[in-house]
Structure 1
Amino acid sequence: MATPLSADALLRALKAEGCQVVEYRSWRTHNRNHKGSWGPVNGVMIHHTVSSGEDSSVALCYNGHASLPGPLCHTVGGKSGKLYMVGHGRANHAGSGDDDVLTAVVNETALPADNEANTDGNRHFYGLEIVNLGNGKDQYPTVQYDAAVRWASAICRAHGWNERSVIAHKEWQPGKIDPHGPVEGRGSFDMNAFRRDVAERLKHAASWSASSPTPSSPKPKPAPQEDAMPTAKEIADAVWKYQLASPTAEKGTDPNRTAGTFQRWGDQHHADVIARLDRLTAAVERLTAAITKS
């Protein structure tokens, strides 16, 4: 048993759980407390609205109708994934249900079959109405289902409850079928699966998301390596291939005018240069001798 959360505490819990919350009209003071007690609270209850259209469904749950005044729940779960706060305090959502079910919720044990309606549920349960026709064909989008899981988890986390404090209207009051219908990618709305999803969330921090990748340790940067000294052959090869400047080259160097080609040209003309030098030396010597005799 627990004291109901204040409006501010409830909002903080929902937002911490990653819920997209919309505060609708004067929800903080909108309740049926003049008709009976609100609390102690023992759990959360999931319903479907038997309606379509997000805005109209929110208005219906806030205002109620001729035979059942609003608020008809505390929160409305839209197909968009938004959670609309429509009431805080006693709300007309649970009605009368099975006292054995309430005992199981209080003790957080397996639920018995609901076979009687002898206990006031509006006093003991937070209520979520999920927008759905309840005809077995209208689908609950993944984002809507996930918002419902987060809503239930947030309240359970705030009170220190586990997933067994979460029940469906159909598990509380005989003759009810909600929530009913297909969940995107999951088949029929199954409360055991829903509770497992709540249990999984409660294992993690409120900010956890099943789709979030697990943070991994950053890979260490490779240690900087010293530049290897080039070998003598590598230096010689580089020099041999070095392109020399040429006045006819567009970019200052000529790929056909490398140190290697220049060296090969020099080798080819070395002997001719030496021979010419020898002849020039001999001519100079003869000329010198002739000048000396005269």
Structure 2
Amino acid sequence: MAQPTSAATFLQALRDEGLTVIEVGNWRTHNRNSKGPFGPVHGVMIHHTVTKGTANTVALCRDGHSTLPGPLCHGVIDKEGVVHLVGYGRTNHAGAGDPDVLQAVIDERQLPGDNEATADGNRHFYGFECINLGDGKDPWPAAQLLAIEQVSAAICRVHGWSARSVIGHLEWQPGKIDPRGFTMTSMRQRVEARLKAGKPTVPPVTKPPVKKPPVKPVYEPFPGAAWFVMGRKSPIVAAMRRRLVAVGCNRYQTSANPDVLGTGDKASYEAWQRKCGYTGTAAKWPPGKTTWDLLKVPNS
């Protein structure tokens, strides 16, 4: 049992565990607190989404739908193990569940079977949606399973909980099957081992020898949205193209004229903005400064 951490502490705990985290929009204040309290918190709940595709899943979990307003969780864990934060506070992820299960989580003992749904899970659990079809066939990549282990351990660590504070939706609410494809028993064993190993250590920063500052920055600074005009020729375009291919956003149809801005660059960069969690018009061309800085285009 504990009061929820601040959003800043929550974010830092995830990063301290070694996770890659993308902050989506106004996630720190996006919640359902007007519908009820968030806290005291007792544990972490894991779900699968029954969707595929990162951008549309992140948008769905942030915004919800007509019958269930968002946010639908605190974070979305994609297939690559990246955590997309979409809300903080009360979120529509757990629904009503078994009060005996809740008490077992509080006591950190073995869970009983769930056979009723009268306790408010949205109030008492952090929730993470993991991108998976939930059909028993869609694979769970090692990077995604590691991220589930890491987010669970991070929150348990910051609250002083054991791995018994980590449960699946199927252990909370009768009729639910998520997450399907791995067992929560095996995941709790992973979390327990991680907690016993201690908090990950950050390698010490070694100061480089004193040198004159470089004339140019390591990465190309954002040239401004107006710079991205079709047909512009520049080594910056070629450097951007190499980075878009490297991050898995290759939508190019030809290798010709790599230093000339064209439709392939537009399609590839829009794919990158969607991968960064942007949707709708926010994901459209031209590039924005935030996603440009995240892309880390080498200085030409």
Aligned to 1:194: 187
Name the aligned partner's letter for residue 171 of structure 2: E
- Paired residue for 1:34? 34
- TM-superposed deviation, 1:208: 6.4
Q: How many residues align?
A: 202
- The match for 2:120 is 120
Equivalent residue runs for 1:1-294 within 5 Å = 1-181=1-181, 189-207=182-200
- In the alignment, the residues of structure 2 paired with residue 179 and residue 16 of structure 1 have an alpha-carbon distance, to the nearest angstrom, of 25
- Partners in 1 of 2:14 and 2:7 — Cα distance? 11
Letter of the structure 2 residue corresponding to residue 200 of structure 1: A
Match of 1:235 in 2: none
Give the 3-state SS of the residue equivalent to 1:22 in structure 2.
strand
Distance in 2 between residues matched to 1:51 and 1:11, nearest whole Å: 25
1:203 is paired with a residue whose SS is: helix
State the shift of 1:80 in Å.
1.2
Counterpart Cα distance in 2 of 1:131 and 1:162:
25
Q: What is the CA deviation profile of residues 261-289 of structure 1, one whole-angstrom value per residue up to 9, with x for unaligned ones?
A: xxxxxxxxxxxxxxxxxxxxxxxxxxxxx
Q: Secondary structure at the match of 2:197?
A: coil
Structure 1, gaps ≥5 residues long: 182-188, 210-294
In the aligned structure 2, how far is the partner of 1:178 from the partner of 1:8? 29
Cα deviations by residue, 1:145-191 (Å, 9 ceiling, x for unpaired): 1001000000000000000000000000000000012xxxxxxx011
Tell me which amino acid in the other structure corresponds to 1:114.
Answer: D
TM-score by length of 2: 0.66
Task: Write the letter of the residue equivalent to 1:139.
Answer: P
The amino acid that maps onto 2:54 is E
Indicate the percent of aligned positions where both proteins have the same amino acid. 58
Q: In the alignment, which residue of structure 1 is the partner of 2:294?
A: none
What TM-score do the two structures reach when normalised by structure 1?
Answer: 0.68
Measure, in 2, the Cα distance between the counterparts of 1:206 and 1:72: 29
Report the residue type matching 1:106 in the other structure: I
Consecutive aligned runs of 4 or more in structure 1 exceeding 2 Å deviation: none
Deviations 1:82-103 (A, max 9, x none): 0000000000000000000000
Alpha carbons of 1:98 and 1:140: their partners in 2 closer, same or farther (altered >3 Å)? same
Query: Which structure is higher in strand share?
Result: 1
Counterpart Cα distance in 2 of 1:12 and 1:201: 18
Distance 1:79 1:207 in 2: 22
Letter in 2 for 1:123: R
- Residue by residue, what CA displacement relative to the aligned partner does 1:9-62 show, whole Å, maximum 9, x if unpaired? 001111110011110111000000000010000000000011000111111000
Secondary structure at 2:18's aligned position in 1?
Answer: coil
Task: Supply the RMSD in Å over aligned alpha carbons.
Answer: 1.0
1:24 maps to amino acid: V
Which residue is equivalent to 1:268? none
Q: Distance in 2 between matches of 1:165 and 1:205?
A: 17
The DSSP-based 3-state class of the residue aligned with 2:45 is: strand
In structure 2, list runs of 5 or more residues that go unmatched: 203-300
* Higher Rg: 1
- Note closer, same or farther for the CA distance 1:125–1:201 as it changes in structure 2 (3 Å cut): same
Shift of 1:204: 1.7
**What is the rounded CA distance, in whole Å, between the counterparts of 2:49 and 2:56 in structure 1?**
11
Structure 2 distance, partners of 1:137, 1:206, is 34
8 Å Cα contact 1:18/1:206 also seen in 2: no
Deviations 1:182-204 (A, max 9, x none): xxxxxxx0110100000000012
